[in-house]
Amino acid sequence: MMVSYVSALLYVAGGIVVVGMALLVAFQEKLVYVPVLPGFTKSYPITPERLRLLYEDVWLTSSDGVRLHAWFIKLLPDCRGTISRELSPSLLTTDIAHRLEMVRIMLQRLQCNVFMLSYRGYGASDGFPSQHGITRTPRCLPSSHFVSLVFLSFAALDHLVQSKDIDTSRIVVFGRSLGGAVGAVLTKNNPDKVAALMLENTFTSILDMAGVLLPFLKWFIGKSSSKGPRILNFLVRSPWNTIDIISEIKQPIIFLSGLQDEMVPPSHMEMLYAKAAAHNRQCLFVEFPTGMHMDTWLAGGDYYWRTIKEFLEKTVPDKKDTDSSRRGKFSQRQSDLLGSGV
């Protein structure tokens, strides 16, 4: 009887492994990349023009010939009086049409330019998303634009640093969720081009997220939180091991964590911060108690924008600012937070 019971358990375990392998091989890209959000269409529901934003259509071509679509949204001249756009920071992002309302407020609160790019397979961009494809560099570039803060893509970064009419020393990468994983790699690989990194609700790795999305897989796959032998790790084509990359980044990093995140466990952001802070003294961790995965910027309200603005002012200051105490330093409030490990 005992032998039969053990045999049955082995068959069940074997079946779970087989099912898990089949799911990973067949559907893993659909779990990692979501070009179309539920309830939306792949076409852009709104454009910058509808929000009366000054913008430019930009098309990049990757090294394998895939065309990528971007919007360069410029700070309106009357937003900063006599201060020119060329001296303002700028941001680059993905999933662009669904973030326009955030970008509109971002321009107002942070006084920056924004470069938004759709990953391959997202929005109007051609191709299919993959880690290998997203990290390709562009083969050809359009004419130069203004810029300085950035929401991510390798192609977009190369486009920005070749611009002649922006302050390329003030390029900052901003990434949420998958964008944070891409942003970490981008920042780590370009220490001379990226001045700082902003991560919001980002996961430690896709290997760990597999166990979050499909709980039974946590016994067979994982990076930081696996409870089993991790025998399925080799099947993951887009691992995005942010937990490994983050400790190699030397630039300032701010971690923005929504504690009500329903997709990525907030513990992932805590682990990323701990790993980064062990090697980088310029790390700041900020929690937003009511923030969910996509609305932390909204739930955080004024505190969210003030925190980011102060971080940017201290880490990528305007060159016109001659006060040496402001350059490359955190405020006393930030220093206190860093010292206390918050």
Q: What pLDDT digit, counting tens, does each position of 220-237 carry?
A: 777 876 566 777 787 777
- Amino acid 142: pLDDT: 34
Instruction: Give the pLDDT of residue 146.
Output: 27
Provide the pLDDT for residue 328: 46
Contact 243, 267 (CB under 8 A): no
Question: In this predicted structure, what is the pLDDT of residue 227?
Answer: 64
Q: CA-CA distances (angstroms) from residue 36 to 96, 175, 177?
A: 11, 18, 15
Of residues 137 and 217, more confidently modeled: 217
Q: Which residue has the higher pLDDT, 96 or 327?
A: 96
Instruction: Provide mean pLDDT across the span 277-293.
Output: 97
Could you report the per-residue pLDDT of 36-82, keeping only the tens digit for each?
Answer: 666 666 677 788 888 889 888 888 887 778 888 888 888 776 544 44
Taking the C-alpha atoms of residue 71 and residue 56, their distance in angstroms, rounded to an integer, is 6
Of the ranges 144-148, 207-211, 253-257, 265-269, which one carries the lowest mean pLDDT score?
144-148
Q: What is the mean pLDDT of residues 4-20?
A: 72
Cβ neighbors of 187 (< 8 A, separation 6 or more) are 173, 194, 197, 249, 251
pLDDT at 27 over 90: no
Question: For residues 265 and 293, is the Cβ–Cβ distance under 8 A?
Answer: no
What tokens does 213 get?
A: 């999305």
Two tokens, residue 281: 């003294």
CB contact at 8 A, 154 and 135: yes
Supply the pTM of this predicted model. Answer: 0.77
Look at 316 and 16; give whichever has higher pLDDT: 316
| Cα Rg, the chain, nearest whole Å | 21
Catalytic residues: 177, 261, 326
Average pLDDT, the chain: 77
∠ CA 25-27-22, rounded to 5°: 40
Residue 149 has pLDDT above 60, yes or no: no
| Per-residue model confidence (pLDDT) at position 282 | 96
